């Protein structure tokens, strides 16, 4: 591509003016500030680095909105939502998975995510038997990522049990199940699926779904990439873990699995103060999904204490009920305001702007959780997100006020263009293949809803 020039850009050292990036083979080759654009340069006004979405279940994009109707009981919660999810996934064929994932990934790009961590657990055919290709469904995830252009950290999920203590899986979980040998074969079959810049990790689903011996084997299993696990999302999970082990889920992980910078603990919603401080000290990332956590009634993560203790965070779209990193960050801050009955709770001395603090923290933590480089620096991927300077929420703003306007004051998206590894994927807020991706998605939804 020709050089990329922006009137203002958020670099690792802060906001800079008149910034010119040169790009070679999809990576930033040079960054010059206070420099004029040259003829033929790609010209923009406001440029940010792309963000990483640390936690997605892509297929759930197809069921967004289908679980917002109370059933026959007044006790509607995560566990009743899970039954709706089980019924939905029973209908999905590989082609359906690919089309739904492409829709989710196109929407992620349109809202400023340039990389996604796919926590992928839909492995088997509808009858629970493995596909002839053990990575059939993972291949559909990879194909959707290639179709849309989003970067991918593929996180195949090991799921073997229905609850703590190695309890047998139930019938509704038949499409998830592996033993260690079959999982290793599937993981190996995933390696050739990755495009340049993609990553492969592993995801023990949760302490409910793995035994201690299985978790230990998984930690040592190649490729020694990122390790993601659901932890302490629900109070019932905490109670069940206490009954099984005498410890809370994150407490148990800290004592028995020694999570470090390779790890991302998804949700980690229900933490004691001691767990909060110890998790922050471990170097692991807390993968927060505020919109999904609010939708499911999970609870509120202790973000104020965790960040004050030096904790690292990333955001994810999880159930993909609504895909938008700005709204995830807004929901995170607003949850803290409600919990503490205060304003600007997650601002810091270094970043008195809440939006800037959260953007910087989730940029760094998200990249760590995905095993990619963060930010617009030489040698890093040329992942540019530009904002529409004419958007009313940004008018008259400069520096951190631009982030404040985007995250807290924009009724609709401020995203103008998105570039992944120097290739333009979004223009005018719309994915270049959005019409085709949407048309295919709508056909799949029609077919699923008719079954």
Per-residue pLDDT of the chain (451 residues; tens, 9 = 90+): 779 999 999 999 999 999 999 999 999 999 999 999 999 999 999 999 999 999 999 999 999 998 888 876 667 888 888 888 998 988 899 999 999 999 999 999 999 999 999 999 999 999 999 999 999 999 999 999 999 999 999 999 999 999 999 999 999 999 999 999 999 999 999 999 999 999 999 999 999 999 999 999 999 998 899 999 999 999 999 999 999 999 999 999 999 999 999 999 999 999 999 999 999 999 999 999 999 999 999 999 999 999 999 999 999 999 999 999 999 999 999 999 999 999 999 999 999 999 999 999 999 999 999 999 999 999 999 999 999 999 999 999 999 999 999 999 998 889 999 999 999 999 999 999 999 999 999 999 999 988 7
4-49+376-431 is a CATH 1.20.120.80 domain: no
Measured in whole angstroms, the distance separating CA 242 from the mean position of its chain's CA atoms is: 28
Determine the straight-line distance between the first and last CA of the chain, rounded to whole angstroms.
46
In angstroms, rounded to a whole number, what is the distance separating the alpha carbons of residues 278 and 256? 13
Give the catalytic positions in this structure: 267, 318
CATH homologous superfamily for the domain 51-370: Metal-dependent hydrolases (3.20.20.140)
pTM greater than 0.75: yes
Instruction: Return the number of other C-beta atoms located less than 10 Å from residue 348's C-beta.
Output: 16
Picking from 88, 91, 186, 184, the residue whose alpha carbon sits closest to that of residue 131 is 186
Please, what is the Cα angle at 73 between 58 and 292, to 5 degrees? 25
> Where in the chain is CATH 3.20.20.140?
51-370
């Amino acid at each position: 591509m020709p050089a990329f020039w922006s009137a203002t850009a958020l670099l690792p050292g802060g906001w800079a003016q008149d910034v010119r990036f040169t790009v070679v083979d999809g990576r930033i080759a040079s960054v010059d500030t206070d420099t004029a654009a040259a003829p033929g340069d790609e010209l923009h006004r406001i440029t940010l680095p792309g963000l990483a979405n640390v936690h997605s279940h892509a297929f759930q994009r197809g069921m967004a909105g289908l679980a917002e109707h109370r059933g026959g009981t007044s006790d509607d919660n995560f566990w009743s939502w899970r039954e709706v999810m089980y019924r939905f996934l029973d209908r999905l064929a590989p082609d359906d998975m690919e089309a739904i994932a492409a829709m989710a990934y196109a929407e992620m790009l349109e809202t400023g995510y340039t990389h996604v961590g796919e926590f992928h657990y839909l492995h088997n055919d509808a009858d629970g038997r493995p596909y002839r290709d053990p990575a059939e469904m993972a291949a559909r995830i990879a194909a959707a990522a290639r179709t849309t252009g989003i970067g991918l950290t593929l996180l195949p999920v090991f799921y073997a049990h229905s609850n703590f203590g190695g309890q047998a899986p139930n019938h509704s979980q038949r499409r998830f199940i592996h033993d260690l040998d079959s999982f290793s074969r599937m993981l190996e079959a995933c390696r050739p699926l990755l495009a340049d810049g993609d990553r492969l990790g592993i995801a023990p689903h949760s302490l409910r779904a793995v035994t201690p011996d299985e978790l230990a084997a998984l930690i040592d299993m190649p490729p020694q990439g990122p390790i993601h696990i659901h932890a302490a999302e629900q109070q019932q999970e905490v109670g069940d873990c206490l009954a099984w082990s005498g410890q809370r889920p994150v407490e148990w992980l800290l004592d028995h699995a020694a999570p470090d910078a390779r790890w991302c603990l998804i949700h980690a919603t229900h933490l004691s103060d001691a767990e909060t401080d110890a998790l922050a000290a471990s170097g692991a990332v807390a993968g927060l999904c505020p919109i999904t956590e609010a939708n499911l009634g999970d609870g509120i993560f202790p973000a104020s204490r965790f960040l004050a203790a030096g904790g690292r965070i990333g955001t994810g779209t999880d159930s993909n009920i609504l895909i938008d990193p700005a709204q995830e960050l807004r929901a995170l801050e607003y949850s803290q305001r409600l919990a503490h009955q205060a304003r600007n709770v997650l601002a810091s001395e270094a970043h008195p702007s809440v939006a800037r603090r959260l953007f910087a923290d989730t940029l760094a933590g998200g990249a760590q959780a995905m095993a990619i480089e963060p930010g617009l620096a030489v040698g890093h991927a040329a992942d540019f997100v530009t904002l529409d300077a004419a958007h009313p929420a940004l008018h008259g703003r400069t520096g951190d006020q631009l982030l404040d306007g985007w995250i807290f004051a924009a009724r609709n998206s401020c995203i103008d263009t998105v570039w992944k590894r120097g290739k333009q994927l979004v223009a005018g807020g719309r994915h270049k293949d959005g019409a085709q991706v949407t048309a295919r998605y709508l056909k799949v939804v029609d077919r699923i809803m008719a079954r």
